[in-house]
Structure 1
Amino acid sequence: MTEVTFYLSSKVGDGVRQALAWRIADKALKQGRLVYVHCQNEAHARQLDHDFWQSPKTGFLPHALHSEGQAPVILGHGPDPGEHHDVLINLTDQVPDFASRFQRVAEMISGADNERQAGRQRFRFYRERGFPVTTHELG
């Protein structure tokens, strides 16, 4: 069954969820896992692609847009993640229909009130459907 982990940060502001996604993707990659980062839309995926090339300045995360190639970390959007099924990092406010295809799902939650509320709804969704759910406070 799909394991779901919520990563909670008290930080607020643009880029908090993206920074968490980079951190979790890097950790998963070091464990030999493949990662699909689910974005809101194409513009969000392209912005995340740009951000992943820019920071952090001391690291590199091999990634590609879903529509443009293969890499250990894929940035995509829409209803079909392709052949991916290992680790899903969800950066949208809804649970993707395909979430149960993945072995692990990571939900990024910042300290912003609207993100916390949307995160609570996703938490309830997973819990009500019997997914094992854990949380990690990251500060």
Structure 2
Amino acid sequence: MTEVTFYLSSKAGDGVRQALAWRIADKAMKQGRLVYIHCRNEEHARQLDRQFWQAPKTGFLPHAIHHEGQAPVILGHNGDPGEYHDVLINLTDHVPDFASRFQRVAEMISGAEPERQAGRDRFRFYRERGFPVTTHELG
């Protein structure tokens, strides 16, 4: 069964969820896992692609836009993650229809109240459907 983990940060503002996604993707990749980061839309995926090339200056996260290349970390936005079914990092405000195809789902929640409320809704969704759900406070 798919394991769901909510990563919570008290920080709010632009880029908090993306920074969390980078950390979780980097850790998963170093464990030999394949990661699919689900973005809101194509523009969001391309923005994240640019950010991943720029930061952090001390590390590199091999990644590609879905259908444009192959890498351990794929940035996508459509309804089909392809062969990636290992780790899903969700950066949208809804549960993707394909979430249960993954071994693990990571939900990034910042301190911004609208994101917290959308996160609560997703938490309830997973819990009501019997997914094992855990949370980690990241500061």
Q: TM-score band, normalised by the shorter chain? A: over 0.9
Q: In 1, Cα distance between the equivalents of 2:79 and 2:29?
A: 24
One-letter code of the match for 1:50? Answer: R
Q: In 2, Cα distance between the equivalents of 1:118 and 1:59?
A: 31
Unmatched tracts of structure 1, length 5 or more: none
The 3-state SS of whatever aligns with 2:123 is helix
2:125 aligns with 125
Q: CA deviation at 1:138?
A: 0.2
The 3-state SS of whatever aligns with 1:95 is coil
1:5 aligns with 5
Q: In 2, Cα distance between the equivalents of 1:48 and 1:41?
A: 11
Q: In 2, Cα distance between the equivalents of 1:28 and 1:87?
A: 8
Q: CA deviation at 1:78?
A: 1.3
Matched, 1:87 2:120: no
Root-mean-square deviation (Å): 0.4
Unmatched tracts of structure 2, length 5 or more: none
Percent sequence identity is 88
2:115 aligns with 115
Mapping 1:1-139, distance limit 5 Å: 1-139=1-139
Q: CA deviation at 1:24?
A: 0.1
Q: In 1, Cα distance between the equivalents of 2:108 and 2:56?
A: 18
Q: Deviations over 1:94-121 (max 9, x none)?
A: 0000000000000000000000000000
Q: Deviations over 1:75-99 (max 9, x none)?
A: 0001111111000000000000000
How many residue pairs get aligned? The number is 139
Q: TM-score, normalised by structure 1?
A: 0.99
Q: TM-score, normalised by structure 2?
A: 0.99
Q: In 2, Cα distance between the equivalents of 1:19 and 1:81?
A: 21
Q: CA deviation at 1:67?
A: 2.4
The 3-state SS of whatever aligns with 2:93 is coil
Q: In 1, Cα distance between the equivalents of 2:36 and 2:79?
A: 13
Q: CA deviation at 1:38?
A: 0.2
